[in-house]
């Protein structure tokens, strides 16, 4: 009787579900200059400006980034708004996905360059 119950349970029992682990999407980084900003579409285009250490052939990457509410924007360590992104700003962007349609994780703008103080000459 017990043996029959075990066989019946084994025949109708479902095998344990296999765990599905999502494949992690690598976060990519681009260092460059903002080429254009489309606030209506929520897009920023950044062109790479970092030189390669050993260039075999010139390569400049351009990435179109999609902004959303989760995208962290900052100038240095100070948070900024999408309206503060302007062409010509130097930026470091982290993104997910291919360069043609990437989702921006964060964009950090370079702090404005302050002029170096001029050395003062002692009176002669």
Q: Specify the pTM.
A: 0.66
Span 99-108, mean pLDDT? 89
The pLDDT, as a whole number, for residue 65 is: 95
- Does residue 21 sit within a domain? no
Q: Where are the beta strands (DSSP E) in 1-124?
A: 27-38, 43-48, 62-66, 72-75, 78-79, 90-96, 102-109
Length of the chain: 124
- Does residue 19 sit within a domain? no
CATH of the domain at 96: 2.40.50.320
Q: pLDDT by residue (tens digit) across 104-113? A: 999 999 987 6
What DSSP state is assigned to residue 42?
T
CA distance 84 to 95: 19
- Does residue 39 sit within a domain? yes
- Does residue 33 sit within a domain? yes
- Does residue 1 sit within a domain? no
Q: Which domain holds residue 76?
A: 27-51+59-109
- Does residue 41 sit within a domain? yes
Give the residue from 23, 28, 13, 34 showing the smallest Cα distance to 96: 28
Neighbours of 96 (CB within 10 A): 14
Least confident of 48-57, 70-79, 104-113: 48-57
- Does residue 43 sit within a domain? yes
- Does residue 6 sit within a domain? no
Tokens 């929520």 belong to: 42
Structural domain count, the chain: 1
User: Which has the higher per-residue pLDDT, 103 or 6?
Assistant: 103
């Amino acid at each position: 009787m017990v043996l029959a119950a075990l066989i019946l349970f084994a025949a109708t029992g479902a095998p344990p579900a296999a765990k599905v682990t999502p494949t992690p999407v690598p976060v990519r980084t681009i260092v460059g200059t903002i080429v254009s900003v489309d606030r209506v579409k929520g897009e920023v285009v950044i062109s790479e400006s970092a030189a390669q250490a050993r260039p075999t052939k010139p390569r400049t990457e351009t990435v179109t980034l999609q902004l959303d509410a989760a995208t962290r924007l900052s100038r240095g360590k100070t948070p900024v708004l999408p309206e503060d992104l302007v062409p010509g700003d130097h930026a470091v962007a982290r993104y997910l996905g291919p360069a043609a349609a990437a989702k921006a994780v964060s964009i950090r703008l370079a702090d404005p360059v302050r002029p170096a103080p001029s050395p003062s000459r002692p009176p002669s």
